[in-house]
Amino acid sequence: MLTGSLSTLYGVWGAAPNDVWAVGEGGTILHWDGARWSSIPSNTTATLRSVWGASAGDVWAVGDNGTAVHYTL
C-alpha cells in the first residue's frame, strides 16, 4: 500500500480498518481513513518508533530520545 511518504515507517496501529496510524522517521505520523493516507503534524523531527491508542481518539506515538506525541479528538 502506498502512503505517499518518503520516510521509513517503523510502527503501525489500527483501531479499525478505516482508522490506522503509522509513524516513522523525521516525526512522520500518517493516518489512514479507509480511503487515503493523511499526514498529521507531530511538532517533532525525532524518529517515532511505535504507535498505540487507548481508543480511536486517544493515540500515542513514541520515539527516539524519549519523544512522546499525544493525539486526541
pLDDT band at 5 (very low <50, low <70, confident <90, very high): confident
**Residue-level pLDDT at 54:** 95
Q: Measured between alpha carbons, how far is 16 from 5 in angstroms, rounded to an integer?
A: 21
**What b/e sequence results for 31-43 when a residue is b if at least 16 CB atoms lie within 10 Å of its CB, and e otherwise?**
ebeeeebeebebe
Q: Which residue has the cell 504507535?
A: 51
**Residue-level pLDDT at 1:** 67
Flag whether pLDDT at 4 surpasses 80: no
pLDDT in tens, 15-64: 999 999 999 999 999 999 999 999 999 999 999 999 999 998 999 999 99
**Residue-level pLDDT at 28:** 98
Enter the pTM of the model. Answer: 0.91
Residue extents of the structural domains in the chain? 9-72
